[in-house]
Structure 1
Amino acid sequence: MTRTLQDLLPAGGSTVQQQKESGAGPATGTPPYVEVNFREGGREAKVSVALTRWGASAPPPCPDTAYFPYSRCTESTRTDGSRVAVDRSPESPDRPSGAKAVTVTWIAANGDQVAVRQSRPSGDGAATAAHPPGLPLTQAQLTAIAVSARWGKLHSLLPRPKPSTPEPVAAMTGPRIAKLLTSLLPAGMHASGPGGSDGFGHIVVDDGKGKSLVAANVQKWDPEDPGITKIFTDARTLPDGTKATASERPAPGNGKGAVQLTYDTVREDGFRVVIMAVNAPAYGIPADREKPALDTGQLKTMALSKAWRTAANHADGDRAG
């Protein structure tokens, strides 16, 4: 895999140091990954390539802003149906105004993915005499590496992905979930920044006291699945048979002072709706307010709304049609 990357890098440059290579065969259990230092014209960068085989359930190629709030990503579709995303994100999440890494991600129609990332070799974004400002590879050069047919042979060595459990409800896309979340908000709250992927949607809510991430998962489980049974072992059972739990924990991503309120529900047929609210506009960043914009009672009202079932049924109908 290292040789393939070296061959695809522009002529005239040099590979200064091989950093690492892993998962280059089906027996390793990890996706193929290679990372090298590339130097050209006095400029040096760490260049990495990661291969993934998603199958039909490939996620959007752009980072989800709920987890990567400083991402600036654009996506385009090629004539063969494959997609290319170009993302510029801070190398260090706690330094959003610092040096940016550039990642070009290519996803084929069959779900095979190549992600090529270029960043400073030092990782701190500081320009020195040894590493002058700027990175050696252009966006076009990174794209050429990502879309190269030479990665196909390595993709063929990867095992085909197994179906995920739980599965997102058919056609309940991130934008659809975000729109429904917005419609269920209490009066007086402003929503912005809708996003997400299949089965997961989110918005940023502002009630005048600071920004708050509000998100939802919509899933379909087998009611007898041990995984879902374990999640709701200590749940309260509502009169209609729905099981529900409520929790308050530190928010994922370890943002300073960030907490997450969660109201988790599953119906008797395995239809699950989880509503979450964080006192920050995204995961992994410091709290923007003392408490989330929604309290547990409001999350409960949203999670138990019949609108989720109605939307899921309509989504199934749209898909069938």
Structure 2
Amino acid sequence: MRENSAQDDRDAFEGGLGVAMKQAGEGFSVAGRPLVDGGVARGRRRAVLRRSAVVTGSVAALAVIGLGGSYVTGNIGASQDGGNGAAVGAQAKEKADRTEKPSGPSTGQQVIRTLEGLLPAGKVSDRTGRGTTGEGEQKDVHAPYASVVYDDGHGKAAVSVSLGRQHPDQKLPEGELSCPDKNLNAFESCSATTLEDGSRLVLFKGWEYPDRRVETKRWYADLLTPEGYRISVTEWNAAAEKDAPVSRPAPPLSSARLKALVRAEEWRPIIASLPDPEQPPLEQPAPQGQNGDVILGRLIKQLPDGLTVKASGGQETEYAYVVVDDGQGKSFVQINVQPDMSDVEGDLFGPDAKVLADGTKATTRQGPGEKGGDGVKMWTVDTIRPDGFRVVISAFNAANQNEAATREAPALTLAEMEKIATSKVWQS
């Protein structure tokens, strides 16, 4: 494999800098964080940040920088069923109790070369990445990653790896390293298991866009070892994560290959060269906001008669949903319960908002669903009390926003939703 020029190194660094910052800021999460969904807005400190359901996020939004191409021969086996994945896992287990002795910080080119060396034989191009230390103003940013475009002869595919490290005693956020809720995020298959060495592994096959507005597939493996080493590999059936045409029916690496790749011991010295993570506090801070299970229970008790709950779920705090059916088809209903929202009241409630007898403001919205499901309608009632306590509820004429409508209108009327949102039970 040829060495890139100094200019190529600079190009790779500049192309990946924004991505590395994004990864560091997101705390290296695959399972994702609360994102835009269902028109539910959440505001803090003069900014309206829209949030509700947990959806699976991309491991790394990686830019594609043209750095030339070459052929590589990988060492994780040539068979499509994963080859020597068991051998790689055994090697990782043998090393589990050993502390690596890194020779020093790893460069972006080292991370790229490691990824290339672990891929099966094929052509590699469009390399970009960063090491365990930054450059210039970003010298304190530690978010190593690599991205390449890989072609095994059946079409180009973007492949990326992200590396991280956390303290072994650090508690994961709820939902981390688990499969997403299929009512919130459509996918082909997903497994979340604890391996024989104590590592947690998620293998996911889905799409870049849950509503499948394009047929770009996104498959990933995400591993957290007992030492706190985090390795995530993501692949697509296109030459880029977004805005690139589908170039092959599926990503090139099978689940077995992905598992072998994330368990490869070659990643360990790179991660070991990251700074030692801080010891987490003995007592983790309690989640802020009303408990999601409590919200779900209260929502179900207030549903109109004649509705059967077919599915339900939510988040640790502030959000819950149900899928109901009145005999005319399934309808997705979601709710956010948020205290201390006075700072965004002016952004969310205009002069035409209805003011109730107790001073609560209420506004309604009717429009298409936000995720592109064919014919999906979304009805929303948004309320805020004088003390800033906000309850917003939305209903859809579909079982979820990613699929086509299953009925003409949502199962709840706007009046029924307003009654739920303004109920005193939320502040009891």
| TM-score scaled by length of structure 2 | 0.54
- Structure 2 CA distance for aligned equivalents of residues 124 and 283 of structure 1: 23
Partner of 1:70: 187
CA 1:36–1:195: 2 relative to 1, 3 Å: farther
**Contact 2:383–2:422 under 8 Å retained in 1:** yes
Partner of 1:287: 405
- Structure 2 CA distance for aligned equivalents of residues 146 and 266 of structure 1: 53
Which one of the candidate residues 214, 230, 233 is aligned to 2:333? 214
- Structure 2 CA distance for aligned equivalents of residues 81 and 268 of structure 1: 50
- Structure 1 CA distance for aligned equivalents of residues 273 and 365 of structure 2: 44
Partner of 1:119: 236
Deviation of 1:274 after TM superposition, in Å, equals 0.9
Partner of 1:163: none
1:1-321 alignment, distance < 5 Å: 1=108, 3-4=110-111, 6-8=113-115, 11=118, 13-14=120-121, 16-19=123-126, 21=128, 27=138, 34-38=146-150, 45-50=157-162, 58=173, 60-61=175-176, 62-70=179-187, 72-76=189-193, 84-90=201-207, 93=210, 101-106=218-223, 115-121=232-238, 124=246, 126=248, 135=254, 138-144=257-263, 149=268, 152=271, 169-170=288-289, 172-173=291-292, 175-198=293-316, 199-223=318-342, 225=343, 227-234=344-351, 235-310=353-428
Q: Could you give the per-residue CA deviations for residues 262-284 of structure 1, whole angstroms, max 9, x where no partner exists?
A: 11112222221111101122223
- Structure 1 CA distance for aligned equivalents of residues 153 and 263 of structure 2: 20
Deviation of 1:260 after TM superposition, in Å, equals 0.8
- C-alpha root-mean-square deviation of aligned residues, in Å? 4.6
CA 1:136–1:89: 2 relative to 1, 3 Å: closer
Q: Which amino acid aligns with 2:221?
A: V
- Structure 2 CA distance for aligned equivalents of residues 271 and 135 of structure 1: 48
Partner of 1:317: none
**Contact 2:211–2:371 under 8 Å retained in 1:** no
**Contact 1:86–1:103 under 8 Å retained in 2:** yes
Please list every run of 5 or more consecutive structure 2 residues that lacks an aligned counterpart in the other structure. Answer: 1-107, 240-244, 276-286
CA 1:3–1:281: 2 relative to 1, 3 Å: farther
Please list every run of 5 or more consecutive structure 1 residues that lacks an aligned counterpart in the other structure. Answer: 157-167, 311-321
CA 1:94–1:197: 2 relative to 1, 3 Å: closer
Partner-residue secondary structure (3-state), 1:104: strand
- Structure 2 CA distance for aligned equivalents of residues 2 and 112 of structure 1: 20
Higher strand share: 1
Structure of greater Rg? 2
**Contact 2:211–2:373 under 8 Å retained in 1:** no
- Structure 2 CA distance for aligned equivalents of residues 149 and 233 of structure 1: 54
**Contact 2:221–2:255 under 8 Å retained in 1:** no
CA 1:298–1:91: 2 relative to 1, 3 Å: same
Deviation of 1:103 after TM superposition, in Å, equals 2.0
**Contact 1:216–1:274 under 8 Å retained in 2:** yes
Q: Which amino acid aligns with 2:148?
A: V
- Structure 1 CA distance for aligned equivalents of residues 223 and 359 of structure 2: 44
Deviation of 1:237 after TM superposition, in Å, equals 2.0
- Structure 2 CA distance for aligned equivalents of residues 244 and 308 of structure 1: 15
- Structure 2 CA distance for aligned equivalents of residues 57 and 243 of structure 1: 37
- Structure 2 CA distance for aligned equivalents of residues 147 and 59 of structure 1: 29
Q: Which amino acid aligns with 1:229?
A: G
CA 1:136–1:293: 2 relative to 1, 3 Å: closer
- Structure 2 CA distance for aligned equivalents of residues 242 and 186 of structure 1: 22
| TM-score scaled by length of structure 1 | 0.69
- Structure 1 CA distance for aligned equivalents of residues 218 and 386 of structure 2: 46
User: Aligned pairs, how many?
Assistant: 295
**Contact 1:66–1:202 under 8 Å retained in 2:** no
Partner-residue secondary structure (3-state), 1:138: helix
Deviation of 1:115 after TM superposition, in Å, equals 4.0
- Structure 2 CA distance for aligned equivalents of residues 112 and 35 of structure 1: 19
Deviation of 1:182 after TM superposition, in Å, equals 2.3
- Structure 2 CA distance for aligned equivalents of residues 263 and 52 of structure 1: 41
Deviation of 1:37 after TM superposition, in Å, equals 3.3
CA 1:147–1:180: 2 relative to 1, 3 Å: farther
- Structure 1 CA distance for aligned equivalents of residues 408 and 356 of structure 2: 31
CA 1:101–1:254: 2 relative to 1, 3 Å: closer
CA 1:112–1:13: 2 relative to 1, 3 Å: closer
Deviation of 1:294 after TM superposition, in Å, equals 0.9
Deviation of 1:138 after TM superposition, in Å, equals 2.5
